[in-house]
């Protein structure tokens, strides 16, 4: 007789063990929706309803990055390097304001394990060859893999906007304002 049936005779592996619920996805389009070099974009994250939960690592600013020089490619962590300042407010009062936030995040990403770095292509962390393919460098894009990779990512870059979601108990009451200096 199996040990599991001795302890729990009604145990069956097909029972669901995860939590399920209704999911919603909110996409906000900002006005203005583009920035020139030197301009700032303010991202205001709306308050959550009382019965809502925000999943960590689910909020991001996604933008199109157009490389005007086809002989160059972007650097690792392009999205984080564009971010100039992160400011978090609680009930209208600043609780977090950091001008060097992006540099700290880039430094932290340097110490990631190789497997973790390989999984962060959408965040702008990739090998030089992959970054050349995403930017459509002429010399690197003569194979089918480059075409498939560009079909998935295109010109999209992503900046995660989830600072302090894992550490604070006041997430529904936080109003975020993030400044991006292009």
pLDDT tens-digit profile of 61-107?
A: 777 766 666 555 555 566 666 666 666 666 667 766 767 666 666 66
Whole-prediction pTM: 0.50
Q: Report in angstroms the alpha-carbon separations of 54 from 16, 93, 164, 182.
A: 22, 21, 12, 28
* Percent above pLDDT 90 for the chain: 0
Question: Tokens 């700032």 correspond to what residue?
Answer: 40
Q: Report in angstroms the alpha-carbon separations of 135 from 36, 80, 120.
A: 19, 17, 16
**Residue 122: closest CA among 73, 82, 158:** 158
Average pLDDT of every residue of the chain: 64
pLDDT tier at 182, thresholds 50, 70, 90: very low
Which residues touch 50 (CB under 8 Å, ≥6 apart)?
172
Check whether 137 has a pLDDT greater than 60: no
Average the pLDDT over 31-51 and give the result: 68
Question: Tokens 């975020």 correspond to what residue?
Answer: 176
């Amino acid at each position: 007789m199996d040990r599991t049936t001795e302890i729990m005779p009604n145990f069956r592996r097909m029972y669901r063990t995860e939590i399920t619920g209704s999911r919603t996805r909110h996409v906000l389009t900002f006005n203005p929706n583009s920035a020139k070099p030197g301009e700032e974009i303010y991202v205001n994250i709306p308050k959550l309803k009382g019965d809502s939960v925000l999943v960590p690592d689910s909020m991001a600013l996604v933008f199109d990055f157009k490389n005007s020089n086809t002989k160059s490619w972007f650097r690792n962590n392009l999205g984080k390097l564009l971010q100039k300042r992160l400011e978090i407010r609680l009930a209208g009062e600043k609780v977090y304001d950091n001008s060097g936030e992006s540099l700290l995040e880039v430094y932290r990403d340097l110490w990631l394990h190789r497997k973790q770095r390989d999984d962060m292509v959408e965040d702008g962390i990739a090998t030089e060859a992959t970054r050349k393919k995403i930017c459509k460098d002429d010399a690197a894009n003569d194979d089918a893999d480059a075409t498939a990779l560009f079909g998935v990512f295109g010109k999209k870059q992503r900046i995660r906007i989830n600072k302090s979601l894992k550490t604070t108990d006041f997430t529904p009451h936080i109003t975020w304002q993030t400044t991006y200096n292009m």
